Every structure is written in structure tokens, then in C-alpha cells.
Amino acid sequence: MLHFSRLAGATLLAAALMAGTASAQTVLRSSDTHPDGYPTVEAVKYFGELVKERTAGRYTVELYHSAQLGEEKDTIEQVRSGVIDLNRVSMAPFNGLIPETTVPSLPYIFRSEDHMHKVIDGAVGDQIAAAFEQVGLVLLAFYDGGARSFYNSKKPINSVADLAGMKFRVIQSDIFVDMVAALGANATPMPYGEVYSAIETGVIDGAENNFPSYDTAKHAEVAKFYSLDEHTMVPEAFVMAKSSWDKLTPEDQAIFKAAAKESVAKQRGLWASKVKESRAKVEAAGSQITTPDKQPFIDAMGPVYEKHVKDDKLKAMVEAIKAAQ
């Protein structure tokens, strides 16, 4: 009887130890609308590898790519409420929630990719990052989202006049709607995953995005005319639910921050390679790429800035970006 008691006690102890080990292993769910292999997806995977290694397996990241957990607008609400822990999303859908995100979403706010990097890696980037906490999020990193340009199924776009009356899908953001209107075209906000069929069926004439998205979403199959007007360079945001962040020890928070920073360098390298690869791929498949004079596009953006940059804080951010060298 004593032997049985000892055996039962040992079994219970082992079970308790196993339960303790299991509870110490936290799986964090992360969402991305892009497909497997896309630079942002690979960057978050790399972040997860670093976190797992540096926490000795106490934290792992389970990544759901290809909008498996929903489109960006849906996953923003999920991460704010803590249903998911991490999310990679474009900055533009945050415009209605976080006023500071409107500034990097403005058309032609950045002169070049290098200019954009200097801005978001500096004081303006810190100001934007701090604003995310107001809505229950912690911004871990800014990723490259590339230069967005118009593409369509009808004709080459060589001037602002060529856009008149055309219908373009845009991100669900008032800035993007107003930008398209300022150019004389019609904006149709819709989820990213619906764009291919909308172009194919003629619901819209085209959309606007970077070369990797134009390629990997297969939009080049249904919209052969790509105009390199490069109207925005909106950074991507990699965020964590504040409720999940607050459960981390200060030591683990430092690990997460460092891993995120290292993933930025990884993503930027992957992004530069992917842009070249995707452009070559769509050109080889028959896409016609034109390069219009950007100045008339820039000149048309006055009403967008007047509407969306009203308070002194945002005006100061715009001036700081313009002054950055």
C-alpha cells in the first residue's frame, strides 16, 4: 500500500511539473495579410526565432499569413482586444484611430526611401510609436512598405489627366480616398483580398500598390498597366497587444524590442531584393510600366494636406519631416 502511495505521489508530482512547464511556454499568435515568403512575413518569422532562442523557448510566435485570421481592418480590432497577440499591418488603416499615423501616410511626404528611413528611425518615428499605446497597442517595429503606384486594366497612365473618371481600389483610409479624388479619379475602399476579382469583373479599373504586392497578389494578371508615380511610401507597423506586452517581464520586454529591431534590418534587405525581383517578373509577363512626371501629381495634393493636417502637432511633424536630410 505504501509502495502504491509513493508511486501515485510521484505520478502527481511529474504531472504537476509537466503542467508547470507547459504553462511557462507561451504561444503568441501573429497575423499578416501577405503570403508566405513575403518580406514582412519572413521578418516576423525571424523575430519569432530570435524571441524563442533568447527566452529559451518560453515564448514562441505562431504566424498566420495570407489573411488567415482576417483582413487588416479586422485583425487591428483583434489585436487591440487581445484576441491575437501580434499583427503586421499597413500604417494607413490606423489613420482614424491614431492621428499621428496620418503624417507618414500623406502623399509625397517622403522624398525617397532613404529619407523615409531617417525619419521613422528618428524622433518623428518615436513620436508615432508612442501614440500607439493610446489605443492598446505597443509598436515593436516599422517595416518597409515600399512606394505605392497606380495600376489598371484599361490604359497607360502618363499624366494626372489620364486618371480622370477611373475607379481605383484604395486602402480603407480617408487620406487615400481624398488623394485619389484630388487626382480626378474615384476611390473604392475594399479589403486587399477582394481586389483581384474586382478588377477582373470590372467593378474597379485598378488599384495602387508596390511591386511586390502587385506581383504576389497576382494583380498583374488582370491589370497590365503600371504607372510609377510613387505617390506614397507608407511604413508598415508591427504591433503587439498591450495586454500581451504587459504580461512580459522587463527583461523579456527588452528581448522583444531587440528582436524586433533586428528584424527591421532583415526586412529591409529582403524588401529591396523583392522589389527588384517582382518588377522583373511582371515586366517579363507583359506588364507595361510608365514613369510620369511626378510634379503635377504633387501639385494636386494641396487639398489633402489642408484637410488632414490641421492641428499644430501634425503640422510640426510635417515640417520636421520636410527638414530631415
Q: What is the pLDDT of residues 147-182, one digit of tens each?
A: 999 999 999 999 999 999 999 999 988 999 999 999
Q: Given the C-alpha cell 509537466, which residue does it identify?
A: 18
Q: What is the pLDDT of residue 10?
A: 37
**CA pseudo-torsion sign 274, 277, 283, 289:** positive
Q: What is the pLDDT of residue 37?
A: 96
Residues 276, 210: contact at Cβ < 8 Å?
no
Assign 284 a pLDDT band (cuts: 50, 70, 90).
very high
The reply to whether the predicted model has a pTM over 0.85 is yes
Alpha helix (H) residue ranges in 25-112:
39-54, 72-80, 102-105
State the CB neighbour count (10 A cutoff) for residue 206. 28
Summarize pLDDT for 241-282 with one digit per residue, the tens: 999 999 999 999 999 999 999 999 999 999 999 999 999 999
> Which residue has better confidence, 2 or 272?
272
Q: What is the pLDDT of residue 325?
A: 84
Q: What is the pLDDT of residue 92?
A: 87
Residues 208, 135: contact at Cβ < 8 Å?
no
Q: Distance between terminal CA atoms of the chain?
A: 81
Cell of 79: 489585436
Question: Would you put residue 22 in left (φ > 0), alpha (ψ -120 to 50) or beta?
Answer: alpha
**Sheet architecture: strand order including 167-170:** 186-189, 167-170, 206-209, 148-152, 225-232, 288-290
State the CB neighbour count (10 A cutoff) for residue 62. 12
Q: What is the pLDDT of residue 14?
A: 36
Residue 21 has pLDDT above 70, yes or no: no
Specify the range with the lowest mean pLDDT, choosing from 21-35, 129-143, 150-164. Answer: 21-35
